[in-house]
Structure 1
Amino acid sequence: MSLDNTSHSGRPGPDELVPSRYALKIGEIDVMVISDGVLTLPGAMLGHNADPAARAAWSDYNFLPTDMLDWGLNVVVVRSGSQTILIDAGLGDDPDLNLPKAGQLAHRLEAAGIDLASVTDVVLTHMHMDHIGMLLVDGVKEQLRPDLRIHVADAEVKFWTHPDFSHVSMPQGFPDALRAAAKRFAEEYRSQLRTFEEEYEVAPGVVVTRTGGHTPGHSVVRLASGGDRLMFAGDAVFAVGFEHPDWYNGFEHDPEEAARVRVRLLRELAASGELLVATHLPFPSVGHVAVDGDTFRWVPIFWDY
Structure 2
Amino acid sequence: MAKITRNVQPVTARIGKEGAGELVPSRYAVKIGDIDVVLISDGILPLPTSTMSTNVSEADRNEWFDGRFLQRDMFDWALNIALVKRGDRLILIDSGVGDGFDYFTRAGQSMTRLESAGIDLSAITDIVITHMHMDHVGGLNVDGVRRKLRPDVRIHVAAAEVAFWKNPDFSKTVMPEAVPPALRKAAEKFVALYSENIVQFDQTVEVAAGVSARVTGGHTPGHCVVDVASNGEKLTFVGDAIFEVGFENPAWQNGFEHDPEKAVSVRVALLNEAAETGAMLAAAHVAFPSIGHIAKDGDHFRFVPVLWDY
Q: TM-score, normalised on structure 1? A: 0.95
- Output the CA distance in 2 between the equivalents of 1:133 and 1:184: 9
Q: Which one of the candidate residues 93, 97, 114 is aligned to 1:91? A: 97
- Output the CA distance in 2 between the equivalents of 1:220 and 1:36: 18
1:68 corresponds to:
74
Whether the 8 Å CA contact 1:121–1:151 is kept in 2: the answer is yes
1:26 corresponds to:
32
CA RMSD of aligned residues (A): 1.2
Cα deviation, 1:226-264, whole Å, max 9, x if unaligned, reads 111000000000010011111110100000000000001
Q: Which one of the candidate residues 144, 147, 153 is aligned to 1:148? A: 153
Task: Please give the residue correspondences for 1:108-127 in structure 2 after superposition, counting only pairs within 5 Å.
Answer: 108-127=113-132
Task: Please give the residue correspondences for 1:177-216 in structure 2 after superposition, counting only pairs within 5 Å.
Answer: 177-216=182-221
- Output the CA distance in 1 between the equivalents of 2:174 and 2:100: 20
- Output the CA distance in 1 between the equivalents of 2:181 and 2:254: 18
1:4 corresponds to:
none
Cα deviation, 1:204-233, whole Å, max 9, x if unaligned, reads 000100000000000000010011100000
- Output the CA distance in 2 between the equivalents of 1:263 and 1:134: 29
1:82 corresponds to:
88
1:49 aligns with 2:55: yes
- Output the CA distance in 2 between the equivalents of 1:138 and 1:193: 19
Task: Please give the residue correspondences for 1:156-305 in structure 2 after superposition, counting only pairs within 5 Å.
Answer: 156-305=161-310
AA aligned opposite 1:35? S
Q: State the secondary structure of the residue aligned to 1:70.
A: strand
- Output the CA distance in 2 between the equivalents of 1:225 and 1:290: 22
Deviation at 1:292, TM superposition (A): 1.0
Instruction: Rate the CA distance shift 1:12–1:161 in 2: closer, same or farther, 3 A.
Output: farther
Deviation at 1:13, TM superposition (A): 4.8
Instruction: Rate the CA distance shift 1:116–1:12 in 2: closer, same or farther, 3 A.
Output: farther
Whether the 8 Å CA contact 1:31–1:79 is kept in 2: the answer is yes
Deviation at 1:14, TM superposition (A): 4.6
Instruction: Rate the CA distance shift 1:213–1:26 in 2: closer, same or farther, 3 A.
Output: same
2:143 corresponds to:
138
Cα deviation, 1:88-142, whole Å, max 9, x if unaligned, reads 000001423x111100111100111111000000000000000001110001100
The unaligned stretches of length 5 or more in structure 2 are: 1-16
Instruction: Rate the CA distance shift 1:191–1:283 in 2: closer, same or farther, 3 A.
Output: same
AA aligned opposite 2:158? A
Name the % identity: 57
Deviation at 1:187, TM superposition (A): 1.2
Instruction: Rate the CA distance shift 1:94–1:187 in 2: closer, same or farther, 3 A.
Output: closer
Cα deviation, 1:73-98, whole Å, max 9, x if unaligned, reads 000000011100000000001423x1
Whether the 8 Å CA contact 1:132–1:185 is kept in 2: the answer is yes
The unaligned stretches of length 5 or more in structure 1 are: 1-10
Runs of 4+ residues deviating >4 angstroms: 11-15
- Output the CA distance in 1 between the equivalents of 2:79 and 2:273: 23
- Output the CA distance in 2 between the equivalents of 1:197 and 1:262: 20
Whether the 8 Å CA contact 1:94–1:100 is kept in 2: the answer is no
- Output the CA distance in 1 between the equivalents of 2:237 and 2:188: 25
